[in-house]
Structure 1
Amino acid sequence: MAELLDADSLRDAVAVLDGWEGGPESIVRTVGLRSFPAAIQVVDRVAQVAEEMDHHPDIDIRWRTLTFRCVTHSAGGVTTRDIALANRIDRILADASA
């Protein structure tokens, strides 16, 4: 099982992510896309990555606004798996806005 990040490690990891915030219970990023179809395309790409990683974010879809929440439920908080997934989500979002 993945181990929880301590407060310092979590703070340092979130500081280098793009637009993420949160604490030991979860990290969250909300982003607006240019259209509903663009948002759904991002969700589809994140779903593919999540399946590859066998680690799945909670995703809230509100028209063209997406909120991603990463937490390792089995560990009861944020682990390195969540940071790795957040990094992959950041890359997908960067590609979508290019």
Structure 2
Amino acid sequence: MARRIPLTPEDLADALAELPDWAGDVHGIHRRTKGIDFRTAAAHVLALAAVADDLDHHPDVEISYGNLTVHLLTHAVDAVTGLDVEFARRADELLAAQLDEDA
């Protein structure tokens, strides 16, 4: 999957099937983690910063009461690309590891 080429709706549907906590369409995908305390959400954002720098791809992140939401879109092509899917996979791995540590 080319990193910065827009995904077709079919390719995105296949990718989202492997990322059950993510939703969206070819115009952007997002994941909302509910019931997360502020400190854990902030730690996750810091961990995501390393992924963002590694991939040279930066998400929109929102922390609100009990929620952390990550939005992904490759702005250069105004669509979801393989880069967004790669970021989503890595974000899921990080959050799972952090929640396991906190348990």
**TM band (smaller chain):** over 0.9
* Unpaired segments ≥5 residues, structure 2: none
**Residue 57 of structure 1: CA displacement?**
0.7
Partner amino acid for 2:42? I
Q: In 1, are the aligned partners of 2:51 and 2:90 still within 8 Å (CA)? A: yes
* Unpaired segments ≥5 residues, structure 1: none
Q: What TM-score comes out, normalization by structure 2 length? A: 0.89
Give the percent of matched residue pairs that are identical in Structure 1 and Structure 2.
35
More divergent stretch after superposition (30-39 vs 51-60): 30-39
Cα RMSD between the aligned structures?
1.3
Partner amino acid for 1:82? D
**1:17 maps onto 2:44 in alignment:** no
Query: Distance between the aligned counterparts of 1:22 and 1:50, measured in 2?
Result: 20
Q: What TM-score comes out, normalization by structure 1 length? A: 0.93
SS at match of 1:14: helix
Counterpart in the other structure of 1:67:
69
4+ long deviations beyond 3 Å: none
Partner amino acid for 1:20? W
Counterpart in the other structure of 1:43:
45
Query: Distance between the aligned counterparts of 1:41 and 1:33, measured in 2?
Result: 15
Q: In 2, are the aligned partners of 1:18 and 1:90 still within 8 Å (CA)? A: no
Residues 59-96 of structure 1, C-alpha deviations (whole Å, 9 max, x = no match): 01113311001100001110000000000100011011
